[in-house]
Structure 1
Amino acid sequence: MMDIDFVPLQEEDLEQVIKIEQCSFPTPWSKQAFISEIYDNSLSYYCVGKLDGQVIAYGGMWIIIDEAHVTNIAVHPDYRGRKIGENLLLHLIVQGIMRGALRMTLEVRPSNLSAQKLYQRMGFEAAGLRRGYYTDTKEDAIIMWKTLVEKFTED
């Protein structure tokens, strides 16, 4: 098992993050978009997975009241298939719970079967569809949800 450290995203990590972003998504985020998330969005949490000081994965989410919304998650192509995405998502889940999230949601392309399988393994369930969500390809998005913490009510 690789010894990967998941730590908050820092501006000095962005060059490596952008490289992963560019080889992972048809319409990659810009460096400025990530800088805005780090410095201007008080609802966001972004992290990187580092192996021997190199960024090999990253993920982010927004915490809105009691919901965590995963914005992006990616693993460098050279490191896929080694449960790094699973560990990264687990890290986001833990961070979400620590920040008060009771549920977590995300969108995934119907064509991204490997991501769907990961999310299903981690307990996410499809709950709807956003038609034409991805503006680059007009592809729909599958909306998936996972309960992180059950609410308790007093009778």
Structure 2
Amino acid sequence: MNKTPSIYDISFKRATELDIDRLVEIEQQSFTVPWPEEAFYNDIVHNRFAVYIMVECNWEVAGYCGMWLVMDEAHITNIALLPQFRGYKLGEALLRKVMFLAKEAGAETMSLEVRVSNKPAKSLYKKLGFQEGGIRKNYYTDNYEDALVMWVNL
């Protein structure tokens, strides 16, 4: 990326089956235990509750956010940005977009899990109104780190 992204360079789109390879690539560069391709395929093709939104910057896919919309609740399954796009507030823009779409779809609350050690993510979530709701002990299988459950009223 040659320049700092500006608001004019950012767009969003709903991921389809054709985007699964790109989602897997982002996932592999973002997490120590990435979701397999089959998980994305099942969510995008078969799970009527799942929605995946991709953020594009300078006409290049920069990241994605997946959520499940069930009744009046939205749950963030994953949110990830490629390393070269971090630090430009794209994660914030993406999460704001997903929160808007969830509310538009009738969700009243949104929840997610985050590693207790992930200070940048927790800071972003708090900035957007998420509150701490509890701990899931040994949630992450790579190192058995606890997950902090966070939620927000939309």
Q: Same fold (TM over 0.5)?
A: yes
Q: How does 1:28-43 map to 2 (within 5 A)?
A: 28-43=34-49
Corresponding residue for residue 151 of structure 1? none
Corresponding residue for residue 153 of structure 1? none
How far apart are residue 6 of structure 1 and its match? Answer: 0.8
Corresponding residue for residue 134 of structure 2? 128
| Aligned partner (choices 82, 86, 110) of residue 116 of structure 2 | 110
| Aligned partner (choices 34, 56, 62) of residue 56 of structure 1 | 62
| Aligned partner (choices 16, 22, 34) of residue 16 of structure 1 | 22
How far apart are residue 14 of structure 1 and its match? Answer: 2.2
* Alignment partners' CA distance in 2, 1:38 and 1:9: 8
Give unmatched runs, 5+ long, in structure 1: 149-155
Calculate the aligned-residue CA RMSD, in Å: 1.1
Whichever residue aligns with residue 22 of structure 1, its letter is Q
How far apart are residue 63 of structure 1 and its match? Answer: 0.9
How far apart are residue 143 of structure 1 and its match? Answer: 0.4
Q: TM-score, normalised by structure 1?
A: 0.91
How far apart are residue 86 of structure 1 and its match? Answer: 0.2
Corresponding residue for residue 152 of structure 1? none
Runs of 4+ in 1 over 3 A off after TM superposition: none
Corresponding residue for residue 78 of structure 1? 84
How far apart are residue 11 of structure 1 and its match? Answer: 2.2
Deviations 1:11-32 (A, max 9, x none): 2222222121111111001111
How far apart are residue 135 of structure 1 and its match? Answer: 2.0
How far apart are residue 52 of structure 1 and its match? Answer: 3.9
* Alignment partners' CA distance in 2, 1:16 and 1:46: 12
Query: How many percent of aligned residue pairs carry the same amino acid?
Result: 43
How far apart are residue 133 of structure 1 and its match? Answer: 1.2
Give unmatched runs, 5+ long, in structure 2: 1-5
Corresponding residue for residue 143 of structure 1? 149
Deviations 1:92-111 (A, max 9, x none): 10110111100100000011
On the 8 A contact 1:45/1:61 being kept in 2, the answer is: yes
How far apart are residue 127 of structure 1 and its match? Answer: 1.1
Q: TM-score, normalised by structure 2?
A: 0.92
Aligned residues: 148
